[in-house]
Structure formats: structure tokens, C-alpha cells
């Protein structure tokens, strides 16, 4: 059975406003469209995969997908293996809940900031171990591998701010300038993409690169070789023709 909670609005400054919740309850409980229901199933599957792949522990991390002018997002504090089709949680781009009764993730300000400023259709936020460790050590992930190219270049680390705050969302946007992913200091990662699969793959690649750099850096008396900006630019050009053609 779905857990029913008072719905809330997350404002642009990151605060929660539950004014008018009763007036909106009927709209929030409506049945989603076929597109929203399909996207919700894909979102829940991706959220469960973050746990299975070791990118999050418990209810840490969150996933969202944009459908038109609405955003489907994982709810706050609910284990992903307990989510059901009628637990669908959806907000508009201003953070007003328009579908569902479960409170959206506390990191909603970050997700909405990405959608308002980029062409993202999906966002993945994790607390991946190696990436979080790197976020405490350097201002950006060194160019240890050419897979930094799909992320737009050297992956920056956004300064620390309290989770769920407007300040964190602002730090994140600056770190994402010209990038599709960044690290969040003492916190985790966030990536986005044109599809949920692309956003997820970027998260997985970022965690892998962080693990690679930590491993190479751990050998006493040596330092890993790094790519030059010119080498990375060459890879970015080459990747424009990567993959299958329709």
C-alpha cells in the first residue's frame, strides 16, 4: 500500500512550503499519463540499479526524469525496493507537486536547477564511494582517462554546502558549466543526459575514473601520468563519430 503523506512544494530557495496542500491533494493524487507512468517505471529501475551497482547505500542519492514540463523524481527517505507504480512522484519546474502523495527527494533544488539551465532530460545523483573520496582531495578530478571527454572535460568539484540547499544547487551549477557531470565536495556526484541511460552511464564512468585515479595515486614513490588538454580535445573530436549510425 502506498504511504500517504502531506504533499509539499520546494521553493526556488530550497525551502519547503506546504501551504495549500489540502487544496492541491486532489490534483496530486490524479493518475499519471501513459508517458509519465512509463518514465516512472524506468526511473525506479534506474534507482534500484544505483543500489545494486554500489553507487548508493540505503536511500542516499536520487534520480529524476523530465517529461514535458514536469519532473518525475524519487521520493524522500523511501527505499527503492519498496516503490510501486502508484508511488509516482512528480513536480513542475517550480517545485510544485502535481502528481503523487510522497514527498519528493530533499535534493529537488539540484535537480530542478539542472533542468532550468540545461537541455537535460534525466539527472542521476549518487553518493558513490570513490567519487566522494576524490571530492575531499582535489578541486577537480585529474585527467586520468579520456572518458572525461563525454563529461565535457576535467570534472570539477563543487564547494560543500548543506544537502538540499539553494547554496548547494548554485555551487553545482558553477561546477557544471560546460560539463555534464561534477563532484560535490564531501557529498557525491551528479550527472545529466539526454536520456536516463546516458545520465546513468556518465555516473558510472565518473565513479570508475575516480577509482582509477585513487588506485594509480596510491602507489608509493610514483605519480600517475595524465592526459593533456590537447589530447582530451582530440578525443572529444573523435567521439563525435563514435557509435552506430541510424
- Across 195-218, average pLDDT: 97
Secondary structure in 3-state letters for the chain: CCCCCCCCEECCCCCEECCCHHHHHHHHCCCCCHHHHHHHHHHHHHHHHHHHCCCCCCCCCEEEEEECCEEEECECCCCHHHCCHHHCCEEECCCCEEECCCCECCCHHHHHHHHHHCCCCEEEEECCHHHHHHHCCCCEECCCCHHHHHHCCCEEEECCCCCCCHHHHHHHHHHHCCCCEEEECCCEEEEEECCHHHHHHHHHHHHHHHHHHHHHHCCCCCCCCCCCHHHHHHHHHHHCCCCCCC
- Across 184-206, average pLDDT: 98
Q: What is the pLDDT of residues 94-119, one digit of tens each?
A: 999 999 999 999 999 999 999 999 99
**Mean per-residue pLDDT over the chain, rounded:** 88
Q: What is the pTM of this model?
A: 0.85
Kindly state the percentage of the chain with pLDDT values over 90.
Answer: 78
Is residue 209 very low, low, confident or very high in pLDDT (cuts 50, 70, 90)? very high
Kindly state the percentage of the chain with pLDDT values over 70.
Answer: 85
- Across 226-231, average pLDDT: 95
Q: Give the pLDDT of residue 246.
A: 60
Q: Give the pLDDT of residue 117.
A: 97
Catalytic residue numbers read: 107
pLDDT at 84 over 50: yes
Q: What is the pLDDT of residues 13-64, one digit of tens each?
A: 555 455 444 434 444 445 568 889 999 999 999 999 999 999 999 889 999 9
130 vs 6, which has greater pLDDT?
130
Amino acid at each position: 500500500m502506498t504511504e500517504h503523506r502531506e504533499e509539499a512544494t520546494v521553493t526556488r530557495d530550497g525551502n519547503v512550503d506546504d501551504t495549500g496542500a489540502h487544496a492541491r491533494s486532489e490534483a496530486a493524487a490524479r493518475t499519471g499519463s501513459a508517458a509519465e507512468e512509463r518514465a516512472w517505471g524506468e526511473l525506479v529501475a534506474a534507482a534500484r540499479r544505483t543500489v545494486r551497482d554500489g553507487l548508493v547505500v540505503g536511500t542516499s542519492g536520487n534520480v529524476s526524469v523530465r517529461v514535458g514540463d514536469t519532473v518525475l523524481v524519487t521520493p524522500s527517505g523511501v527505499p527503492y525496493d519498496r516503490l510501486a507504480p502508484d508511488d509516482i512522484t512528480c513536480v513542475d519546474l517550480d517545485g510544485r507537486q502535481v502528481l503523487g502523495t510522497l514527498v519528493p527527494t530533499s535534493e529537488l533544488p539540484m535537480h530542478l536547477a539542472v533542468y532550468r539551465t540545461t537541455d537535460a532530460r534525466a539527472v542521476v545523483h549518487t553518493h558513490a564511494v570513490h567519487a566522494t573520496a576524490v571530492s575531499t582531495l582535489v578541486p577537480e578530478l585529474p585527467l586520468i582517462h579520456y572518458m572525461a571527454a563525454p563529461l565535457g572535460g576535467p570534472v570539477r568539484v563543487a564547494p560543500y554546502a548543506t544537502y538540499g540547499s539553494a547554496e548547494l544547487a548554485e555551487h553545482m551549477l558553477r561546477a557544471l558549466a560546460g560539463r555534464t557531470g561534477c563532484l560535490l565536495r564531501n557529498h557525491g556526484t551528479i550527472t545529466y543526459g539526454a536520456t536516463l541511460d546516458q545520465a546513468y552511464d556518465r555516473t558510472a564512468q565518473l565513479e570508475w575514473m575516480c577509482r582509477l585515479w585513487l588506485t594509480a595515486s596510491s602507489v608509493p614513490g610514483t605519480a600517475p601520468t595524465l592526459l593533456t588538454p590537447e589530447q582530451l580535445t582530440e578525443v572529444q573530436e573523435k567521439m563525435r563519430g563514435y557509435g552506430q549510425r541510424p
